[in-house]
Amino acid sequence: MGIKCKKRWINKPGFTLIELMVVMVIIGLLAALVAPRIFPKLGKGKQSATKAQIELLSQALDQYRLDTGFYPSTQEGLTALMTNPGQENWDGPYLKKNVPMDPWGHPYTYQNPGTHGEYDLFSYGRDNKPGGEGEDKDVNNWE
C-alpha cells in the first residue's frame, strides 16, 4: 500500500512571471537614470588621484633635492627616488612604495630641466597623448 501525494499549486506563496518582469523593468529604469550620473565621476576621480600622486612625487623630489642639492636628471628619472643613482648624499628611498603608474596604467613623464619650472612631472591622461578633454586631459605639476 502506497501513500498518494498530490502536489497543490493553488495558494502557494511566490511571484508570478509578470511580477518579476515588472520588478526587472523598474530596476532597469533606475539603472538608466543613475548610471549616466555616476560614470562621468569615475573619470574625475582618476584625475584627482593623478593630481594627488603628482603632489606626493613632487614632495619626494623636493626631499631628494634637499639631500643631494639638485633634482634627478631626466635619465635617472623617478627611479632615483627609490634606488641611489650614485649620489653621495642620497638618503632614500624617498617613497614608501615603488614609483606608481598613473591611474590609467601609464608611467609618469619626468623631465629635468623642465620647460615650466625646474622639472616637469605629468601624465597624459587616459589617452596617453598630449592635450585632450575630460579624462583624456593632461595632469601636471605646474598648473
The pLDDT tens digits of the residues spanning 57-93 come to 999 999 999 999 999 999 999 999 999 999 889 998 9
Instruction: Evaluate if residue 43 carries a pLDDT over 70.
Output: no
The per-residue pLDDT for 10 is 61
User: What CA–CA distance (Å, rounded) separates 49 from 100?
Assistant: 11
pLDDT confidence band for 19 (50 / 70 / 90): confident
CATH superfamily label, 46-140: Glycoprotein, Type 4 Pilin (3.30.700.10)
Task: Give which of 107, 102, 43 is closest to 78, Cα–Cα.
Answer: 107
pLDDT confidence band for 8 (50 / 70 / 90): low
Count how many Cα atoms sit within 13 Å of the Cα of residue 34 in the half-sphere of its side chain: 6
Domain map of the chain by residue range?
46-140
C-alpha cell at 42: 569615475
Tens of pLDDT along 97-111? 999 999 999 999 999
